Amino acid sequence: MSTKNLLVELFVEELPPKVLNKLGEAFSSILFESLKSQGLAEDNSVVTAYASPRRLAVHATNILAVAPNKTSTQKLMPVSVGLDASGNATPALIKRLNGMGLDESAVSNLTKQADGKNEALFLDVMQKGVSLNEGLQIALNEAITKLPIPKVMTYQLADGWSNVNFVRPAHSLLALHGSDVIAVTALGLTASNQTQGHRFEAAVSPVVIKNADSYAEQLKTEGAVIASFSERRTEIVRQLTVAAGKENLKPIEDDALLDEVTALVERPNVLLGQFEEIYLEVPAECLILTMKANQKYFPLLDANGKLTNKFLIVSNISPDDPSAVIGGNERVVRPRLADAKFFFDQDRKKTLESRLEGLNKVVYHNKLGSQGERSHRVRGIAKFVADKIGADPQLADRAALLSKADLLTDMVGEFPELQGIMGSYYALHDGENKAVAAAIADQYLVRIDELRDGNSLVSESLLIADKVETLVGIWAAGLKPTGDKDPFALRRHAIGIIQAFQLLYFSKKLNNEKLALSIEELLSFTAKSFDKISVDGNVLTEITEFIYERSKNQLSFLHVSQTLDAVISITPPLGEVSDRAGAVKEFVGLSEAPALAAANKRVGNILKKVEGEVKAEVNTNLLQEPSEIALNEALRKVKPVADKLFENGDYTASLKSLAALKAPVDAFFDNVMVNADDPALKANRLGLLATLHQTMNRVADLSKLAS
């Protein structure tokens, strides 16, 4: 069958910029998948999504005008219902056939097939292929209905009576199969071959699209619109790079801002603006946030990454003289920068410490008290953590004391995203220790990239304390994450704790030291910090499982689930999960691994069936069979080596040393009866297996690797 390319476009009022790309991708994929399921798209069809501020469109290649006919087997009814004792059709069967437009002669075409415990009558039915007009209407309705719209608008159509729901009011619908208009309707609109270009710079209005393949090019040349989201984004990046390069500067990198600006313009034109250098006295984070969040500008940095007084504007118009556009943007941003400077100057008139009393009036959570009470809890936890990891407890305490004071500043009141950052600046202004100031800024990070010196440990102490206090408190208050709902970002807090433990573990390992802090004792200490709410053992168990599950998810891109399950199941020290998973991954590559894993599983099952505790002890005088003597001898040689390597943190070598146990373990199970009639002999053999089990499962539960 011959095919043509298809183009469908919905022309609407300005779409929400933060979700434009998602809407464009969803519109195209849903519509195309519907066409494909109806048999209207070929296997080699290619779909392309278009999304601009005022349009959602899809281009699909090799679309059929009519889908091919297809045969389907349809179940009619049980044989006992459709045929009588003589094998003739019953009235029920004839009625069913008549309802399908068939007469009694169709009975000869029926087949009997098993249907569970009985037989049923089936009929091969030829289904006529759907036309593109019908199929596209179905696909278009489905795409509009299933579009992931953040908030639906209800608006009235031109007839003055009808209402429709969509993300924004739609003004026209375009549908072309090759150059032929497809007569479909949507949102009160009938399809045509016309659309609109740029509001101000289109060469013609309307833009009459010649055929499906000329859409993007005609919009660009006649409509002054780059329809493709990715193409517009690439063009913006190119212009930003060129404009910044002329000033020997570089634009700040921000993918979210780039996506948002791409969704705001139809044909980008990058212009250079600047502001007075006096505003550079304000912390760069404040100025950058002001320019990005409020104005969608790209701040420019010098070669050292320092903010300059120049910025780039992505305009949607391209006048011959851009000075008016540039001047207008400079006039708009200036008051915002002035506000930021005013807030900064005013905030520094009061010390952070002088604001602490006010935290007692700021509610943190109705079950957990005020921010002042929270700060008191965080102080205790931070000192506990600092003592365990080798940080200065007094500095950690001071950092925790001041950590939330900036919540009462004008700057953070205006820009909540600057929590911690502004506290750090104000702490330095107040003459606080640099480690204290750094910790205040670092507390909201998911992770600190490296431990540069002892002062960085102060940051780690506060970061862990802040996150674990939130995690335990909010969880105990009955607000644990459910499904995709996590309003207090407890998953993010758990990840922050995991990252901190990993960093501390590897830092200690480099110095041949052990990390003295465990997640269990951290959670236990934190639980005791709350006096307005009870934190029982079940809550701590749930949180522990939650943290380890997050750790597993974090490493899932590096390791298969089976490897991670083997490690997580024994809940090792949190910071060691990654290291141990790497060791298990290498162990799995050994030829001996499958047999050892299977044997380990068998040993575990045997020990589970034993009533009471089985001690990992062996009386050599009770060893009788050559195979049990050989296994005991092998363990006597391997266990000290494996244990020493384990204690030294060389988990890979520790696991690899177990390879020597394969032959004696196999021989033991081939030749030795564990459940001997003699109770002493049986107990001794169980003790031997317990010793084997203990030796093999220090790094991970190897039974999880058994297939």
Task: Give Cα 591 to chain centroid, integer Å.
Answer: 36
Per-residue pLDDT, 545? 95
pLDDT at 68 exceeding the cut of 90: no
Please tell me the number of Cα atoms within 13 Å of 659 on its side-chain side.
13
CA gap 452, 440 in Å, rounded = 17
Give the per-residue pLDDT at 74: 77
Q: What is the mean pLDDT of residues 290-294?
A: 92
- Whole-number Cα distances in Å, 328 to 148, 246, 264, 265, 275: 36, 22, 18, 17, 12
Place of tokens 């002035």: 338
- Measure the CA–CA gap between 308 and 321, rounded to whole angstroms: 25
**DSSP strand E in 16-54: where?**
47-52
pLDDT of residue 143: 95
CATH class of 3-67+131-221: alpha beta
Percent of the chain with pLDDT over 70: 98
Judge whether residue 218 has pLDDT over 70: yes
In this prediction, residue 491 carries a pLDDT of: 94
pLDDT of 241 reads 96
User: The whole model's pTM is what?
Assistant: 0.81
Give the pairing of strands 3-12 and 55-64.
Answer: antiparallel
493-510 pLDDT per residue, tens: 999 999 999 999 998 888
Sign of the Cα torsion 425, 447, 459, 358 reads positive
90 pLDDT band (50/70/90 cuts)?
confident
Q: What is the pLDDT of residue 399?
A: 97
Confidence band of 202 (pLDDT split at 50, 70, 90): very high
CB 49 within 8 A of CB 82: no
The domain limits of the chain are 3-67+131-221, 70-127, 229-347, 360-555, 592-705
User: Would you state the structure tokens that stand for residue 450, as one six-digit string?
Assistant: 């490296």
Cβ pair 390, 454 in contact under 8 A:
yes
Q: Which amino acid is at 546?
A: F
At residue 641, the pLDDT reads 94
Q: 107 pLDDT band (50/70/90 cuts)?
A: confident
The number of CA neighbours under 13 Å toward the Cβ of 531 is 5
Rg (CA), the chain: 35
For 60, the 3-state DSSP assignment is strand
Q: What residue type is 281 in one-letter code?
A: E
More confident residue, 129 or 95: 95
Question: Residue 700 — pLDDT band, cuts 50, 70, 90?
Answer: very high
d(CA 316, CA 199): 10
Residue 410: exposed, middle, or buried by beta-carbon count in 10 A (0-12, 13-18, 19+)?
middle
Question: Helix, strand, coil shares of the chain as percentages rounded to 5?
Answer: 55, 15, 30
- DSSP-based three-state secondary structure for 107: helix
Burial class for 230, CB neighbours closer than 10 Å (0-12, 13-18, 19+):
middle
Q: Is the pLDDT of residue 610 over 70?
A: yes
Using 50, 70 and 90 to split pLDDT, how confident is the model at 492?
Answer: very high
- The mean per-residue pLDDT over the stretch 125-138 comes to 86
Phi, psi of 269 (to 5 degrees): -140, 110
> Is pLDDT above 70 for 451?
no
Q: pLDDT-based confidence at 676, cuts 50/70/90?
A: confident
Answer yes or no: is pLDDT of 100 > 80.
no
Task: Identify the band that residue 654 occupies on the pLDDT scale cut at 50, 70 and 90.
Answer: very high
Q: Please give the Cα distance from 3 to 249 (Å, whole number).
A: 51
- What is residue 140's predicted lDDT score, i.e. its pLDDT? 96
Sequential DSSP letters for 402-446: HTTGGGGSHHHHH-GGGTTHHHHHHHHHTT--HHHHHHHHHTT-S
* % of the chain beyond a pLDDT of 90: 77
The three state secondary structure string of 509-526 is HHCCCCCCCCHHHHHHHH
Structure tokens, 176 = 């072309």
Assign residue 602 a region (left: φ > 0; alpha: ψ between -120 and 50; beta: otherwise). alpha
Query: What is the rounded distance in angstroms from the CA atom of residue 633 to the CA atom of residue 674?
Result: 17
The rounded mean pLDDT for the chain is: 92
Please name which of 337, 48, 433 lies closest in space to residue 216, comparing C-alpha atoms. Answer: 48
- For 126, counting Cβ atoms within 10 Å of its Cβ (0-12 exposed, 13-18 middle, 19+ buried), the class is exposed
User: Would you state the pLDDT for residue 129?
Assistant: 77
Q: What is the pLDDT of residue 455?
A: 64
Given the structure tokens 């998602």, which residue do they identify? 22
Cross-strand pairs, 77: 121
Homologous superfamily (CATH) for 592-705? Isoleucyl-tRNA Synthetase; Domain 1 (1.10.730.10)
Residue 453 is predicted with a pLDDT of 57
What integer is the mean pLDDT of 396-415? 96
Class of domain 360-555: mainly alpha
State the pLDDT confidence band at 449, using cuts at 50, 70 and 90.
Answer: low
**What is the β-pairing status of strands 70-78 and 194-195?**
unpaired
Angle at CA of residue 233, ends 245 and 205, nearest 5°: 115
The set of residues, in sequence order, having a beta carbon less than 8 Å from that of 108 and lying 6+ positions away, is none
**What is the arithmetic mean of pLDDT over 37-55?**
93
